[in-house]
Amino acid sequence: MGNFEYIISSLPFLTADFRYADGQGFEKVMEEIRENLSEKDAAILEVLLRGFRESELTKDFYADTLAHPQPFIRAYFTFDRNLRNAKVRFLNRQLGRPEEEDVLRLSEEEEEEFPQQADVASALSEADLLSREKALDDIVWKQVDELSLFHYFDLTAVLAYVAKLHIVDRWLSLDESKGRELFKKLVEEVKGTYQGVKFEA
């Protein structure tokens, strides 16, 4: 079993001025998290990390995650696929292509339910590229919050942290000031969770 209380309580080690410390980076943080996970939980973390690589996002990958026993993995990648499909449909409309072209469906009969459809359409309509990316990442961040609600010291909490850290890491390369702002938000969320949970003997 992973030492989740230790992992969660030590996650804010990332900060000082909300930059990675010397010699650290996203992969270094993942190594430190893996060291405190069981082999089974570390394997589940790897599924999440695979999903951050574009080359992995195949129909088989999404089918596998849809059937995954870990609820966060199932829900996160269902959302991720719906979000990507919404982007494809938006681009198709902009380019005058058939709306369903290149949309990734797991079956011909599949009916997509995507409550964030209107929010995504609004985000994609932003004229400025960085504003568009920020709005989309805000949607992802909010969804991760919903998927990890009431999870404090368990694998779901760790996976949610990693999903948010992935967003932060991307912004550190896109816009350092925005990345540092998100870093601060993430650290404050984790600290608030840790301090706000009361343990009973």
Q: Give the residue extent of every domain in the chain.
A: 4-196
Range of lowest pLDDT (69-73, 102-106, 178-182): 178-182
Going by pLDDT thresholds of 50, 70 and 90, the confidence category of residue 129 is confident
In the predicted structure, residue 17 carries a pLDDT above the cut 50? no
Task: Say what the pTM is.
Answer: 0.83
The pLDDT, as a whole number, for residue 141 is 92
Going by pLDDT thresholds of 50, 70 and 90, the confidence category of residue 29 is confident
Taking residues 7-29, report their average pLDDT. Answer: 59
In the predicted structure, residue 198 carries a pLDDT above the cut 70? no
b vs e for 71-96, b when ≥16 Cβ sit within 10 Å of the residue's Cβ?
Answer: ebbebbbbbbbbbbbbebbbebeeee
In the predicted structure, residue 140 carries a pLDDT above the cut 90? yes
Going by pLDDT thresholds of 50, 70 and 90, the confidence category of residue 10 is low
Cβ atoms of 70 and 63 within 8 Å: the answer is no
